[in-house]
Homo-oligomer: A and B are copies of this chain.
Amino acid sequence: MTSRDGYQWTPETGLTQGVPSLGVISPPTNIKDEDKDGPWDVIVIGGGYCGLTATRDLTVAGFKTLLLEARDRIGGRSWSSNIDGYPYEMGGTWVHWHQSHVWREITRYKMHNALSPSFNFSRGVNHFQLRTNPTSSTYMTHEAEDELLRSALHKFTNVDGTNGRTVLPFPHDMFYVPEFRKYDEMSYAERIEQIKDELSLNERSSLEAFILLCSGGRMENSSFGEFLHWWAMSGYTYQGCMDCLISYKFTEGQSAFARRFWEEAMGTGRLGYVFECPVRSVVDEKGGRGVRVTARDGREFVAKRVVCTIPLNVLSTIQFSPALATEKVSAMQAGHVNMCTKVHAEVDNKDMRSWTGIAYPFNKLCYAIGDGTTPAGNTHLVCFGTDANHIQPDEDVRETLKAVGELAPGEFGVKRLVFHNWVKDEFAKGAWFFSRPGMVSGCLDGLRERHGGVVFANSDWALGWRSFIDGAIEEGTRAARVVLEELGTKRDEVKARL
């Protein structure tokens, strides 16, 4: 099945919109017009991992659940396109067993043996290419690359003599040490200013490229505290970051994983769904008459509870009644800063499989790695850009090709590009959440608050691996549990028996 999402470019076809994915659901709905009123126990808005988890948990627990999704596919900001049998990860990609919620699901769905390492340094160029200007490259071993980034990250994170352990001992409880607020309020740029004299030029370039890779933003609008949170979640080490952030992916792609949730929910016989159904408004009816969700096309659905998994940057496009609380509205209006560009390139140089590169700050794609070998025997590179030097990869493919080429000039020809423009995607308006300075301390609690019959759940305001697939599952699990507690899982016929 082909999704309307995503782009592909080859020299032969030029740029085309829409790529195949296991995540496309067909037919787009399983309910007839006359059945649309259910009655539904719960409506889940959004079929990303958060919504899928909530839907799965609720349907398994016996609730009649209606899933509304704006797109033609499941997965939200994490989905894969299988092209010629090879999976390209369009958004969220990497998972690790130190990410509790996603790993619990991976184990439960018996996919713990279905992961592959992204890095493979067993043959080929086997080096790191650092470009701090368009006219030269520095080549290093991967050991030297690790040492460079480890050194730089230790300087960046070491605000307390213990690389963050003292100021952030419980990463799920960010303000356990109240003074952590000051790091939350500090930008990347402000932190770099404090340590700039300790950093070599190579350290600084690599560090900035790495932390911008994490935030997808700019030095001035990315929160240092949010990076420390990622760092703490990763075990306060560079190696932990590499392991958790960018090392292990699904051999068959994210959408193969997402389908497990989908299929389990479908198997209960309690799931109704409507895809290609963007929501216009959510109205909590007075007098406990339920929550009414109206689609852009005017269709209306009512349930006892709504789990709204719409991302932060999109929430302001929905009308809520009664109006949302101030904290939520101000966070929605500010939005998060992640304007990451992620571009896959299939390149005709087998030896690039063991290559990694940084081209910063001059290039529109600043960080890339060899991520696989395609069925044609080419190398698959995954390349990242950020808001600091932004590119819309679909708008001028020559510019995109140039930015890919500048990562390692003269080393390859590009046979294919695959990408999703998350910034222009009206249902995402950016990539994974990354906090502005002060945003987490100011808004996190408010974002997590429910609103009458509406439970808000999204990785954007998870406590642990916020922004990650793990955080989405954390939040979907939380939302389902809230609903379970309120609607109850006791069934009368059973109560009578025991």
Contact = CB atoms under 8 A, between A and B. Distances in A.
Interface stretch (A107-115, A151-159, A276-284, A380-388): A107-115
A272 B498 contact: yes
A482 to B, nearest CB: 10
A103 interface: yes
Contacts of A60: 60-61, 484, 489
B269 A474 contact: no
Given A60-B484, A107-B464, A235-B239, A495 B269 contact: yes
A418 to B, nearest CB: 27
A113 B172 contact: yes
Interface residues of A, number: 54
A124 interface: no
Contacts of A454: none
Contact of A104 (B104, B113, B171): B104
Interface centre among A59, A100, A271, A491 (most CB of B within 10 A): A100
Given A60-B60, A117-B169, 14 more contacts: A97-B100, A100-B107, A108-B478, A112-B463, A113-B170, A113-B172, A235-B235, A235-B240, A268-B494, A269-B489, A269-B490, A269-B498, A270-B490, A270-B491
Contacts of A101: 100, 103-104, 107
A64 B107 CA distance: 25
Contacts of A464: 97, 103, 107, 112
B235 A267 contact: no
Contacts of A267: 488-490
Contacts of A497: 35, 64
